[in-house]
Structure 1
Amino acid sequence: MRLTHFRQLMDEEFGGVRAASISRDHVFGGLGGRTVEQALEDGDEPRDVWRVVCAEFEVPTERR
């Protein structure tokens, strides 16, 4: 998954403003206590980050 696709999925699922807030502010245990932005900056694959976001926010399987 490319980063642009990841951003699109975040916006579609949460809306642009909330997606940005989640990415910057929400600390995920599944990302080692980092935010989405920190994980991506550290080189984590967007696909893996998306899976953690989906699990944390209980995104339905058909939208994962």
Structure 2
Amino acid sequence: MVGVKETELWARLQQHLGAGYYRVWAAEQSLGDLGGRTVVEALAAGVASKDIWRAAWAALELPARER
């Protein structure tokens, strides 16, 4: 995947985690690939959305076609 905008990142997280849970997961789940930060913390720190998506994709153990 070449680039992921923040809005696309949120849409993908919602698709895979559900509307009622994706924001909670993004705020509470620390990801090793993000240095132990959550999605929300990584966004606030200026980490690229595509890198955050890759970390979330790996943590959620999604199939390669979803990368």
TM-score computed with the length of structure 2 as normaliser: 0.88
Larger fraction in helix:
1
1:3-60 deviations in Å (ceiling 9; x for gaps): 1111111111111222111100001111111110000010001110000011111011
Task: Report sequence identity in percent.
Answer: 30
Long gaps (5+) in structure 1: none
What RMSD over aligned residues (CA atoms) do the two structures have, in Å? 0.9
Long gaps (5+) in structure 2: none
Structure having greater relative contact order (Cα 8 Å, sep ≥ 6):
2
Displacement, 1:2?
1.0
Following TM superposition, the consecutive aligned residue runs of length 4 or more in structure 1 with deviations greater than 4 angstroms are none
Residues 1-64 of structure 1 correspond to what in structure 2 (within 5 A)?
1-64=4-67
- Figure out how many residues of one structure are paired with residues of the other and give that number: 64
